[in-house]
Structure 1
Amino acid sequence: MLIALDAAEFAYLARVQHDLLEPLLGTPEGRAVYDAALRRIGIGLALLDLPLLLVVGAASYVLALFAVRPLVEAREREARFAAEAAHELRTPLARIAGLTQSPPPDALERIARIAVDAAQTVGDLLTLVREETVAARLSEPVDLASVARTAVAELARDGVRYDVAASDGAWVVGDERRLRRLADNLIENASRHAAGTVRVEVAAASHAVLLSVEDDGPGVPDAVRARIFGRFVRGSDEKAGTGLGLAICRTIARAHGGDLTLEGRNRFVARLPPFEV
């Protein structure tokens, strides 16, 4: 397109110069003046196009980056998922293979238990990938206090006492199903590490609604506090869970415009934007 415009403009200006110099074109001097005029026209058009070409080139490069970025990120997520799944499944598969070599009396029971654990790991990985890639439907008012009470009622463990302080009016905007998973994971995590008590609190604070879950267990070890929300990071009980629950919780909280933090020894606090009428 630009070349066609330049060609048309060059032809027009060359014609103008030809008409002006036509009486002299039969002489060497006139022809030299005409050739010099054509060179000036060509150089002028080139200098005029250069900044435009630079701008267009830079804009095209930036647009290409934005267009390709989702594909690159999707490929990176795919590679990360494959690597993490392979890493986490290597151990259970090796254990199953070992049990088949010299099977003990309870081999089938142990293999079934290992398979269930491996399936849970894969399920949590898929959940995490899905939470990272699917935007939350941030249009539904959700009673976070009701979500927390329901989660406690369904997840309560024998031998653990649950103190629930959930004030009315703690409404947020979000996807109730995903917020339910956030509460479930936090309460289940606390139940697993509690010595005897889990405290769940939902309250409206300044510019946020807080969901805090705390247990009276040993707390998060200092060695893992800085990376407790990373993938496959476990706290004091290395054998429990997949190490993905807290990563899923933080991803859900951030998808809703909030965040999840660790405060004190073992108090996890999700801060979510409130629903405003």
Structure 2
Amino acid sequence: MVTKAGHSTQGAARSPLAWWRRQSLRFRLTATASAALAVALALAASLLVGVLGRALMQSTDTVAYQRAREVVALADDERLPDPIAVTDGTIVQVVDAQGRITHVTPGADRLVPLADPRSAARESSGDRGRMVDGDAFGIPGPLRVVVLRADHGRTVIAARPFKDVADSLTTTIHMLVIGTPMLLVLLGAASWLIIGRTLRPIAALRRGAAEVSAAARARRLPVPEARDEVHELATTLNDMLARLEAADASQRALISDAAHELRSPLASIRLQLEVALGHPDGQDWRETAEGVLEDTLRLSRLAEGLLTLARLDERRRPARWQPVDLGELVGATAGRYDGGVVTVTAAEPAVVDGDAMDLSRVLVNLIDNAVRHAAAKVSVELRSARAQAVITVTDDGPGIPEADRERVFNRFTRLDGARSRDDGGAGLGLAIVRETVRAHRGSVHLEDASPGLRAVIHLPLSPDPS
């Protein structure tokens, strides 16, 4: 049993529009161009036949009118010869007031007028003639007849054969009927070839895209030489592939580095537990638990850092977008550190738009790094300059060589000095700092403090600090 919905679906699938949409772009473009061309050729052929027919008819009427005017002039001057001498094939009859034919051209009928003189004269309008069937007068084909009045009630009838003109029009129509479809087929075939050549770069793009796979990530789509829309499309797609390749490489590097970093604490936990289980009597379980806890905390910090980076990669703008008072944030963060190692040298009023928790994490990471490497003190400063808030965290430690100051912002990057420390971390702190600052439309860099190192953050001030 077929439902009404089924009928509707089948009807839609069988509709001409659905069939048209399933056809190739080349077929649709060629069919559309051919249809438009067919309409244009049909209109042009109709216009040609119409204009040619009117031109030939007007030319025939003009010649007949001129001959009639000449005969009228001769009749008015009483110099009309009999027969009337006409050399261009025009048939002329002169009819008197009683309806009798008095003068004719050689071979013309002297008994029956080619047109009723009275009615024809009333209907006559200048040089425009009327169509008369010549078979009734023994003349093959139609005639174009012009009727003019002369003096003394006489009427001059001039007629020209229209058969040759009609035959010319018929021949023209036959040629158009035969030639127009042939021309349409020829132009349709040319359109098919031209459109095919035009779409060839797109087909090359499709084949190139089909060959791109995970095993061949460095492939690029072919770019046509022509500086057209297809060239721009290919360039844009290649740029997209380059970005995807870079993101894929970054992701693979992150996974590889994360796996490498996870291996050490997991191996340490496993070793401690295996030793404790293998020698339970002589094992200090408290010391084992503390060692396992330390490695577990290291894993926890690593997982938290990876989750933070993943969240920053997913969105470039913080989810909790609100005004943040950096003066309060700097003071509260610096106040968490005991012993007077961290001091706030200046904290000008500055309000930015962003996520207070993320910005607090940035300060904590920078201050933690500074405290870890400082010899005696760490200073934090906040100032406003050129519609930007500038935060600096300075320590008096050994610093970082200039060649490495940019590299330390990469993920899982640790210098030899940091690697030698047990609390050196996994190398994600500065990477989180940079990604967070970029998400807040800011920038961060490291510079020499002589002695020590200075981290400088630039953040755009909120346009509406209220």
TM-score bucket of the superposed structures, by smaller chain: 0.7 to 0.9
- Report the residue type matching 2:331 in the other structure: R
Question: 1:25 Cα deviation (Å)?
Answer: 8.5
Q: Is structure 2 residue 347 aligned with structure 1 residue 167?
A: yes
Q: Is structure 2 residue 330 aligned with structure 1 residue 148?
A: yes
Q: Is structure 2 residue 29 aligned with structure 1 residue 2?
A: yes
Tell me how far apart the structure 1 counterparts of residues 192 and 40 of structure 2 sit (CA, whole Å): 11
Provide closer, same or farther for how the CA distance between residues 169 and 49 of structure 1 changes in structure 2, counting only shifts above 3 A. farther
What residue number does 2:267 align with? Answer: 94
Tell me how far apart the structure 1 counterparts of residues 271 and 398 of structure 2 sit (CA, whole Å): 34
The alignment partner of 1:118 has SS state of helix
Higher Rg = 2
The alignment partner of 2:342 has SS state of strand
1:12-32 Cα distance to aligned partner (Å, 9 max, x none): 3565588779846878x9957
Equivalence map 1:7-18=2 (5 Å): 7-13=34-40, 15=42
What residue number does 2:116 align with? Answer: none
Q: Is structure 2 residue 189 aligned with structure 1 residue 35?
A: no
Question: 1:261 Cα deviation (Å)?
Answer: 0.6
Question: Can you give the 5+ residue segments of structure 2 that lack an aligned partner in the other structure?
Answer: 1-27, 50-169, 202-227, 277-282
Q: Is structure 2 residue 266 aligned with structure 1 residue 266?
A: no
Higher relative contact order (CA 8 A, sep 6+): 1
Question: 1:60 Cα deviation (Å)?
Answer: 6.1
Tell me how far apart the structure 2 counterparts of residues 26 and 223 of structure 1 sit (CA, whole Å): 87
- Report the residue type matching 1:220 in the other structure: I
CA contact (8 A) 2:392 2:454 kept: yes
- Report the residue type matching 1:174 in the other structure: G
Tell me how far apart the structure 1 counterparts of residues 245 and 270 of structure 2 sit (CA, whole Å): 36
Tell me how far apart the structure 1 counterparts of residues 460 and 338 of structure 2 sit (CA, whole Å): 30
What residue number does 2:314 align with? Answer: 133
Tell me how far apart the structure 1 counterparts of residues 299 and 321 of structure 2 sit (CA, whole Å): 35
The alignment partner of 2:307 has SS state of helix
Tell me how far apart the structure 2 counterparts of residues 35 and 25 of structure 1 sit (CA, whole Å): 14
* More off after superposition, 5-14 vs 264-273: 5-14
CA contact (8 A) 1:127 1:248 kept: yes
The alignment partner of 2:335 has SS state of helix
Tell me how far apart the structure 1 counterparts of residues 311 and 238 of structure 2 sit (CA, whole Å): 24
Question: 1:148 Cα deviation (Å)?
Answer: 0.7
Question: Can you give the 5+ residue segments of structure 1 that lack an aligned partner in the other structure?
Answer: none
TM-score calculated relative to the size of structure 2: 0.50
Tell me how far apart the structure 2 counterparts of residues 237 and 196 of structure 1 sit (CA, whole Å): 18
Aligned residue among 288, 304, 307 for 1:107: 288
CA contact (8 A) 1:224 1:233 kept: no
1:197-223 Cα distance to aligned partner (Å, 9 max, x none): 110000112232111001112212456
The alignment partner of 1:214 has SS state of strand
Q: How many residue pairs align between the two structures? A: 274
Identity of aligned residues (%): 30
Question: 1:139 Cα deviation (Å)?
Answer: 5.0
CA contact (8 A) 1:10 1:42 kept: no
The alignment partner of 1:228 has SS state of helix
What residue number does 2:436 align with? Answer: 252
1:10-52 Cα distance to aligned partner (Å, 9 max, x none): 443565588779846878x995785355313542576479669
Provide closer, same or farther for how the CA distance between residues 122 and 128 of structure 1 changes in structure 2, counting only shifts above 3 A. same
Tell me how far apart the structure 2 counterparts of residues 146 and 107 of structure 1 sit (CA, whole Å): 42
What residue number does 2:427 align with? Answer: 243
Tell me how far apart the structure 1 counterparts of residues 351 and 371 of structure 2 sit (CA, whole Å): 25
What residue number does 2:60 align with? Answer: none
CA contact (8 A) 2:406 2:445 kept: no
What residue number does 1:203 align with? Answer: 383
Tell me how far apart the structure 1 counterparts of residues 437 and 247 of structure 2 sit (CA, whole Å): 21
Tell me how far apart the structure 2 counterparts of residues 230 and 71 of structure 1 sit (CA, whole Å): 19
* More off after superposition, 110-119 vs 50-59: 50-59
CA contact (8 A) 2:34 2:184 kept: no
What residue number does 1:234 align with? Answer: 414
* More off after superposition, 172-181 vs 65-74: 65-74
What residue number does 1:190 align with? Answer: 370
CA contact (8 A) 1:261 1:268 kept: yes
CA contact (8 A) 1:131 1:251 kept: yes
Question: 1:73 Cα deviation (Å)?
Answer: 7.5
- The alignment's C-alpha RMSD in Å is 3.8
CA contact (8 A) 2:334 2:343 kept: no
